[in-house]
Structures are given as C-alpha cells and as structure tokens.
Amino acid sequence: MTPLDSKVAALSSAEFNVKLFVDNPAAVELEDLIPVFHRWIREGLLEDELPIDVAGYAHVPKGPGVVIICDHAHYYFDERAGRAGLRYRGRRVARGVGEEGITRAFRSLLRAAALLEKEPALGGRYRFRTDQVEFGINDRLLAPSDDQTLAAVRPALESVVKGLYGQAAKSIALSSGPREPFMVSIETGASTSVEALLERLTSAAH
C-alpha cells in the first residue's frame, strides 16, 4: 500500500459526498423544496441526523440550490454543472472510514432520496436515476483531483457498488479538474429503484 493509498483508506464519511441525479430535470422547482425540507426538520424525518436549518440558493445559477444543514452532514438539492440532483456531503463527525464510510454516505443519500420520491407535497415529480452516481472527496490536501487518488479509492468504490447493485460498475472516471475537489462519475450499468437499493443496504447491515 502506498502512502496515498493509506491516507485515502483512512478518510471517513465526513470527507465523502455522493449525488444522485433526477430523472426529469424539467420537473424541478427549487423553491418548492424549502417548505418540504423545513417540515422534515420539524418532524425529524432524516434518520441519524441532527438537522439545524434550511438554506436556499435558488437564485444562484447552477449553484448549491437548497441545503438542509445538519450536524453530521449537509443535504443539497443542487444544480452543479447544470445537473439537478440530491447530494449528501459529510461534515465534522466521522461515521465509518474507507469502504464503510462510503457505504454510510450512500445509505444516508438513499434514505433522503426515498423521502423525496414519496413526498406528498411534490406529487411524485421527483424521481432519481440510479444508473449514474457522482462521488467526491472533500479533502483536497489528502485527496487531490488526479489519477493517483482515483487509483487509491477505486477498489473501495468498486466493492461498494458491487455490493449495492449486485454487479461491477461499468465505469468509474475522474470528472473534476486539477484545481477542483476530487470527483468521479460512476456508471453503474444498472437501473434499480432507490427503494430496492436502500432495502439491499438495510438487509446487508443485519
């Protein structure tokens, strides 16, 4: 194991972010999400989270969108690079390192995505694709955006995707520039419902 491999293996869920893209971007209305997210906070619907507030950036083109600020993570419905979707971004509190941390990030994202898909106020307009996932690492010092970091993190990503989808990823490719936080695009080669993926993760945990 190289020094970089060791550093990446030691990264925790606090450094990971994962994003699912919506199936129908034309249906997205960011302002509609603000009261929905506030109700989630009031009713404590985000499992294993301590939600604090909601921030809206709907006025920023291709920006951070609407954010649920939590103690362990932030949940963004963002439009980064012009692609709308739900992102889990870990922060502060480490909950699992390496492969375990990546799995925890996926589980948290899928739970929130399932809530959005079933949200009565949105009338079923928000559905998520699962054939493509974006994965990133927030620590630019330990995980620079380059092929070395990709090689170091690839085995853990491949293992998580295979366990989640029941098959190997079709491709895992670097999608960030050299001065950006590390980000990869994962083509899963499968189109499975959010609920089915979440059920598989839940079953595997028991």
**Cα end-to-end span (Å), the chain:** 31
Q: Considering only 18-32, 54-68, 89-103, which range has the smallest mean pLDDT? A: 89-103
Q: Report yes or no on whether pTM surpasses 0.75.
A: yes
Question: Nearest 5°: CA angle at 39, between 107 and 110?
Answer: 15
The pLDDT value given to residue 94: 63
In the predicted model, is pLDDT for residue 59 greater than 70? yes
Tokens 């295979």 sit on residue: 162
pLDDT in tens, 73-121: 999 999 888 899 999 999 866 666 788 889 999 999 999 999 999 999 9
pLDDT in tens, 148-187: 999 999 999 999 999 999 999 999 999 999 999 999 999 9
Phi (first) and psi of residue 152, to 5 degrees = -70, -40
CB contact at 8 A, 157 and 172: yes
Q: Taking the mean position of all CA atoms in its chain, how far away is CA 150?
A: 17
> Cα(50)–Cα(124) distance, rounded to whole angstroms?
26
Tokens of 50: 């301590």
Classify 58 as helix, strand or coil. Answer: coil
